[in-house]
A = this chain, B = another copy of it.
Amino acid sequence: MQTTLKKRETMHLLCAKGLEVFHAKGYHNTSLDDILKELSLSKGAFYHHFRSKEDFFINIIQNLIVQKVYALLIEPLNTHDNPLPIIAESLENALEPGKGNEMAYGFMLNDFLTEFNKRNTEISRYLKDILNVWEVNLVSVLKRGKVDGHIARHVDCEGVATYIIASYLGMRSLLMGSSNRQLKYQYIQQLKQYFKIIAEQAPVI
């Protein structure tokens, strides 16, 4: 076995468990020992692979969180169908625990954003960057929808993207881990109502 493989394996173990526990209990409320105990690893092992707790979390963001957001929220947008149902579906899917989304982390971006806001500007920036990428992709798919005649011409695509993101982040706050089907259903329903305004109206004959 290559040493680099062993290294990668341990680092991945640490990152995966780290994300799980950080998301369950919050970054600042989780000690390294909490994570290490679950993996039967030592402080020494940890500091052999990571420079600090902060460095560790940045690794988690770049390897795991980014990929999750891409898989759940960005890649589904790459299609040339009507974007509105696709956006709705990706959001519904991302709120659903246990699909592409095994550990019911759901979409932890909002929790971490709030936790690090005003406390760690570097980590905040990494997290905000992810949101920005999502926003850019939403805007671009909305604009394409305009060209393709699925979305009304008067629509402010940036505004719509902002509103979608805001409502989604807020839902995460409301859901709070307790996966409440009722709330989820209400959210998706209202989102679809909102999309009616955005959609190109069938021309009156």
Contacts and interface: CB of A to CB of B under 8 A. Distances in A.
Interface of A: 24-26, 28-29, 110-111, 113-115, 117-119, 124, 128, 131, 156, 158-160, 162-163, 165-174, 176-177, 183, 186-187, 189-191, 193-194, 196-198
A110 B25 CA distance: 17
Contacts of A186: 156, 158-159, 162-163
Contacts of A117: 26, 111, 176-177
A186 B111 CA distance: 23
Contacts of A176: 113, 117-118, 124, 128
A162 B190 contact: yes
B187 A119 contact: no
Nearest to A196: B197
Contact of A168 (B119, B162, B170, B196): B170
A195 to B, nearest CB: 9
A166 B162 contact: no
A196 to B, nearest CB: 6
Contact of A24 (B28, B118, B171, B191): B118
Contacts of A26: 115, 117-119
A42 B124 CA distance: 33
A13 to B, nearest CB: 23
A176 to B, nearest CB: 5
B174 A162 contact: yes
Given A162-B183, A169-B169, 7 more contacts: A113-B173, A114-B173, A117-B177, A131-B174, A162-B187, A170-B172, A194-B197
